[in-house]
Amino acid sequence: MNDKFVILHLSDAHIGKSVDGVDENNVFKPLLDDIAEVRKYENFTTNLIVFSGDLIQGCYPPCDKTYCVDGLENPNCKLNKQYAQAKRFIEEVTKSAGCNAFEVPLLIVPGNHDVNRYLVTETQKIARAGYEPSSVEKTQKDSNSQKEVMKRLDRWFKFAKGLPNHESVKWDDKFYVPYGTIATSSGKKIGFTGLNTSWTAHSDKEKHKLWIGKNQFDSLCQKIDGTNFKIAVSHHPCRWLHESESQDRERQIGEEFNLYFHGHEHSNWFLDLSNHLRVEGGAAYENSEKENAYSWLVIDFHENNGKIYARTYSNSGKRGWVPANVPGKIKDGIGEIKSCKW
């Protein structure tokens, strides 16, 4: 019996980081080729595509306040160009994964670089410095307060929501993340959701300053209630959340979800526990200070195991993507998932 579920996971493309996209194209073109080659060689049928944040680099300082700050259209704005390139990138990734945009769900969440930082007021920055669980919950439950805070992601949300996607994908208009339910060939019901860790982000070095919030977590869990395999994705790992939330949220994610993806730290790692698997995502741009990486995850529900096909970018010789090796975890590009019992 074949009951395999195949997920392509990418993160942190930072489109717009290099001048005229030259450095990005050195990585993107071979990345797209590698996705297609691995898929064909392994005979994968892609079931889900995950992108865990920082799709674009952002525009600092804004080259055109008309677009970046006032939200009006301007085709010559740097940020507008980043989104145009990002749309082409997602389309090419989907094509390389062997499907069109409407065949496979795209689970994409915002990162701190997807935030329009020039829409964050000084009052909001001061308020975040004093946040505690009760004030976060108060903000998230007050529709007007939440709407004001989320303005920093309005442009990203318009872009992400406008991407062609599978009919199973719905959007949460309060927290700006997708969620949905799909079924495997054997009838296993899979629920997936994003978790927005960037709704209070406004800079780079924000460890222990970010929030998911109880109201967000509970409401999104409820949207996929009744499924028997649950997937979550966020940009930041839980260790970047405020200290009063990070440990509890990491525990809750481990208990509520079978599978959790995140990005931000540009790592190539996974952790498999008895009923929970966490997969970290690498970056996808040249000259990253940390590892460039992406991965395929193949879950075999019939055999109750899985494999991670981990790829990393090599800047040597011709330059391109090659199998990753992590001592004790990944050998010749493959990591065995043995301890998870699904």
- Neighbour-count burial for 98-129, b at 16+ CB within 10 Å, e otherwise: bbeeeebbbbbbbbbbbbbbbbbeeebeeebe
Per-residue pLDDT reduced to its tens digit, 177-194: 999 999 998 889 999 999
Q: Is residue 308 in some structural domain?
A: yes
* Domain assignment of residue 216, yes or no: yes
- pTM, entire model: 0.95
**Residue 322 is assigned to a structural domain of this protein:** yes
Residue 111 CA: distances (Å) to CA of 47, 152, 224, 300: 23, 11, 23, 30
Mean pLDDT across 334-341: 85
- The pLDDT tens digits for 214-242 are 999 999 999 999 999 999 999 999 999 99
Looking up residue 45, the CATH number of its domain turns out to be 3.60.21.10
Which domain covers residue 273, as residue numbers?
A: 4-337
**What backbone phi and psi angles, to 5 degrees, belong to 320?**
170, -175
**Residue 261: Cβ-neighbour burial (10 angstroms; 0-12, 13-18, 19+):** buried
Residue 270 is assigned to a structural domain of this protein:
yes
Structural domain count of the chain: 1
Query: Do 77 and 21 touch, CB atoms closer than 8 A?
Result: no
pLDDT at residue 64, rounded to an integer: 66
Query: Beta strands 305-314 and 334-337: pairing type?
Result: antiparallel
- The residues, ordered by sequence, that sit 6+ positions from 127 with a Cβ below 8 Å of its Cβ are 135
Residue 333 lies in a domain: yes
Residue 137: which of 232, 233, 211 has the closest Cα? 211
Which phi and psi angles does 179 have, rounded to 5°?
A: -155, 165
Query: Considering the domain boundaries, does residue 342 fall inside one?
Result: no
* The one-letter amino acid at 54: D
